[in-house]
Structure 1
Amino acid sequence: MNLAYRDTREFVPVDADKGLDRLTGAMVSADSLAPAGYTRLPKCKFCSKYLESETNIGTCGASAHEPKFMAYGDMTAVTCEMFAD
């Protein structure tokens, strides 16, 4: 799977456009492709329960609340107990 640096655990953001590659120490563009083998960061857009309604905006289908809460695809889900691949 081709992942952008911003979607990997090996990316340390510096600002909205760039960050550090944790393994090499190099400054990289957040949108450039990360090398193969980098770990995918849990984000709503990768969750099987995320229901996208517009580009990068949707709802969390795992939520027990009604109405379901709004979520955006790039939201980090590292601590989400409902995250499912």
Structure 2
Amino acid sequence: LGIGSIAKAATVGKVGGLALGYFILMSTFALAIGLVVGNLIHPGEGLNIAAGAGDAPKVAEDAEGMAGFLLSIIPTTLLASLTGESI
């Protein structure tokens, strides 16, 4: 609404350039803060994560094929889609 009310196209370009410059400056500033804090605090250090912990769960035999896939989309309860293993 503010940019639409500006009559001159040069003013719109100036406002857009300032907004883009502000975005780039603040993004760089946030990146620098994240890198400094990450290097000082070392988040995730000391976690004991097993090598196979990220493996996908096994697919049930009845879920094979197109019909099994389509039936697996429908959750069994209202909260099953939030708490189940399938995304």
TM-score by length of 1: 0.18
Structure having the higher Rg = 2
TM-score by length of 2: 0.18
Higher helix proportion, which one? 2
- Which structure has more RCO (C-alpha within 8 Å, separation ≥ 6)? 1
